[in-house]
């Protein structure tokens, strides 16, 4: 039997450049068709061996000749977590690190009191032989106001060029790209423009989720990238640790447990670390405690309640399966007691989470793939809805 353990940081996104006749106003963007979930979060199909060269990968050269993610940066992160790993393995994973999701956001906040920052976020995973490895990098970019207007137009071009439906659809592999394929001119044009935004000098933050041997040890860490390209390690929110690591020995869908120390809960914070540490703890059989943890999973997945800087990575990444686990131990009446803490589903979107393995206690993906299967945390759906609402309202 395997259990469930947790770890740290992660993510981010990118920019724009003005092209003649391409500036898009808020009224223009609302005139043709409304923004939907798949328009603001673009999830790429899982690459096959034949199509992998069409994708953006870490070693790909950007407009200034630098790699999209420098080899030295990737190696530094892996060595910090797993100093004994062989360089050949690091090289293999670096070469296969593939951009699998892109998202724009006109008002990203790390903390509630911070001003809005415009952002492009890109999610990467190593892909070998058509299978996504259980590891990830997230890169974040901060475009200027004028760059963001053009970046928004480029996402709109992808929507229009791939004849995506104007009817609400659940967040999924981008329907237009899935239908038309990577060689479609609109898709290649989109990737070409994203590549121009993703040079290393534009990068402002990068986070990693690393899976270590023997295959059940995960670690999270995060770096801030200064204007001069220097890396500065961030501490993990709530815990204050330099990185989070956990060993998961739980069987899928069965229970959660870890045999390593994870951060202690602090007053006034929504954490699910006590559940993650050992879901068979007798204390969790006390109804108030169980209801409180379930309530925390709802709050952790609600972008109106929590920003990245107000929750630890482990609680955020583990919230999907933990919500199912706790909810399954409760009655409908008990779940209803805290239903008001759930994200309010307004705006006419299709709110279904169609990823097939949401209750699996060894899946920690926010957005991406678990093996060959799409994996989504519902928080990503809600974040995408927030972005689409802002763009539909012209507030960018």
Give the rounded percent of residues in the chain with a pLDDT score beyond 70.
85
Question: From CA 159, how far away is CA 38, in angstroms rounded?
Answer: 9
- SS3 for 111-147 is CCCCCCEEEEEEEEEEEECCEECCCEEEEEECCCHHH
Q: Quick one: pLDDT at residue 21?
A: 34
Contact status, residue 24 vs residue 156, Cβ threshold 8 Å: yes
Residue 235, token pair as written in the block:
């501490």
pLDDT at 143 exceeding the cut of 90: yes
Q: How far apart are the first and last CA of the chain?
A: 49
Residue 124, token pair as written in the block:
């990467």
pTM reported for the whole predicted model: 0.88
Tell which residue, 166, 146, 205, has the closest CA to residue 23.
146
Phi, then psi, of 42 in degrees rounded to 5? -100, 110
- Cα torsion 17, 21, 22, 28: sign: positive
Rg (CA), the chain: 20
CA 226 to chain centre: 22
In sequence order, the β-bridge partners of residue 70 are none
pLDDT at 202 exceeding the cut of 90: no
Q: Quick one: pLDDT at residue 58?
A: 96
Q: Quick one: pLDDT at residue 64?
A: 76
CA distances, 73 to each of 102, 213, 231 (Å): 21, 21, 8
Low-confidence winner among 93-97, 182-186, 229-233, 255-259 (lowest mean pLDDT) = 255-259
Phi, then psi, of 93 in degrees rounded to 5? -70, -35
Give residue-wise pLDDT tens across range 118-140: 999 999 999 999 999 989 999 99
pLDDT at 11 exceeding the cut of 50: no
Question: From CA 239, how far away is CA 265, in angstroms rounded?
Answer: 8
pLDDT at 390 exceeding the cut of 50: yes
Tell which residue, 332, 328, 312, has the closest CA to residue 361.
328
Give residue-wise pLDDT tens across range 23-81: 333 334 334 589 999 999 999 999 998 888 999 999 998 877 889 998 988 898 888 77
Average pLDDT estimate for 145-156 = 96
366: buried, middle or exposed (CB in 10 Å: 19+, 13-18, 0-12)? buried
pLDDT at 14 exceeding the cut of 60: no
pLDDT band of 142, cuts 50, 70, 90:
very high
CA distances, 14 to each of 86, 103, 195, 350 (Å): 32, 9, 10, 26
């Amino acid at each position: 039997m395997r259990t469930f353990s947790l770890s740290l940081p992660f993510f981010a996104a990118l920019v724009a450049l003005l092209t003649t006749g391409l500036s898009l106003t808020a009224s223009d963007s609302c005139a043709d068709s409304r923004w939907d979930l798949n328009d603001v979060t673009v999830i790429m199909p899982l690459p096959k061996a034949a199509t992998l060269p069409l994708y953006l990968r870490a070693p790909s050269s950007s407009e200034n000749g630098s790699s999209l993610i420098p080899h030295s940066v990737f190696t530094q992160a892996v060595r910090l977590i797993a100093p004994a790993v062989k360089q050949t393995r690091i090289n293999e994973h670096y070469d296969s690190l593939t951009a699998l999701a892109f998202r724009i956001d006109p008002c990203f906040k790390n903390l509630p009191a911070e001003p809005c920052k415009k952002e492009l976020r890109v999610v990467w995973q190593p892909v070998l032989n058509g299978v996504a490895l259980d590891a990830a990098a997230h890169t974040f970019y901060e475009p200027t106001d004028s760059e963001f207007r053009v970046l928004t137009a480029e996402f709109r071009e992808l929507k229009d060029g791939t004849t995506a439906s104007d009817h609400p659809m659940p967040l999924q592999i981008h329907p237009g790209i899935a239908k038309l394929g990577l060689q479609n001119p609109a898709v290649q044009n989109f990737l070409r423009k994203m590549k121009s935004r993703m040079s290393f000098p534009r990068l402002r933050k990068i986070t990693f989720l690393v899976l270590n041997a023997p295959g059940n040890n995960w670690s999270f860490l995060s770096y801030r990238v200064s204007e001069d390209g220097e890396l500065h390690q961030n501490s993990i929110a709530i815990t204050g640790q330099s990185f989070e690591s956990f060993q998961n020995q739980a069987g899928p869908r069965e229970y959660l447990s870890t045999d390593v120390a994870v951060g202690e809960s602090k007053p006034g914070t929504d954490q699910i670390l006590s559940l993650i540490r050992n879901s068979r703890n007798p204390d969790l059989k006390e109804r108030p405690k169980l209801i409180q943890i379930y309530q925390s999973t709802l709050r952790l997945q609600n972008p109106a309640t929590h920003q990245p800087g107000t929750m630890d990575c482990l609680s955020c990444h583990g919230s999907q399966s933990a919500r199912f686990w706790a909810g399954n131990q409760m009655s409908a009446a008990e779940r209803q007691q805290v239903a008001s803490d759930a994200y309010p589903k307004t705006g006419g979107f299709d709110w279904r989470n169609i990823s097939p393995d949401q209750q699996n206690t060894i899946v920690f993906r926010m957005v991406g793939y678990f093996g060959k299967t799409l994996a989504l945390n519902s928080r990503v759906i809600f974040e995408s809805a927030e972005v689409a609402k802002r763009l539909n309202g012209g507030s960018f």
